[in-house]
């Protein structure tokens, strides 16, 4: 119950892409590997497993497209996930996934 107030403040319009991003299910290598559809969970950037958070915050292949507000080391994800530019960036990431 301690998170009820932050949950009440969070308003998202869940799209197919946003739902896959938030659940970490979809075209992410880590998920595909877990269900036997990919040989490796690693991201093509070779940094780490390819997860939603890796792509959003750390992937070198997404670096040039990453909005400045996401590069902030003090990022509060529950706040920026609602921002239109974040949603746009998430959609752009999904377009690059195979």
> What is the per-residue pLDDT across 7-64, written as a single tens digit (0 to 9) for each?
556 566 788 998 899 899 989 999 999 999 999 999 999 879 999 999 999 999 999 9
Q: Which of 29, 69, 70 lies closest to 52, judged by CA?
A: 29
What are the tens digits of pLDDT across the range 52-90?
A: 999 999 999 999 999 988 888 788 877 888 888 999 999
How far apart CA 32 and CA 15 sit, in angstroms, is 20
CA pair distance 92, 88, nearest whole angstrom:
6
- Which of these, 88, 92, 17, lies nearest to 62 by C-alpha position? 92
Q: Write down the number of H helices and E strands in the chain.
A: 7, 0
Answer for the pair 60, 45: CB distance below 8 angstroms, yes or no.
yes
């Amino acid at each position: 119950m301690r998170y009820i107030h932050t949950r009440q403040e969070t308003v998202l319009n869940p799209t197919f892409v946003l739902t896959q991003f938030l659940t970490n299910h979809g075209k992410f290598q880590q998920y595909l590997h877990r269900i036997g559809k990919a040989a490796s969970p690693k991201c093509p950037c070779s940094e780490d497993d390819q997860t939603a958070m890796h792509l959003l915050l750390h992937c070198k292949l997404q670096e040039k497209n990453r909005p400045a507000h996401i590069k902030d080391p003090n990022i509060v994800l529950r706040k920026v996930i609602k921002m239109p530019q974040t949603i746009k960036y998430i959609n752009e990431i999904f377009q690059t996934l195979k």
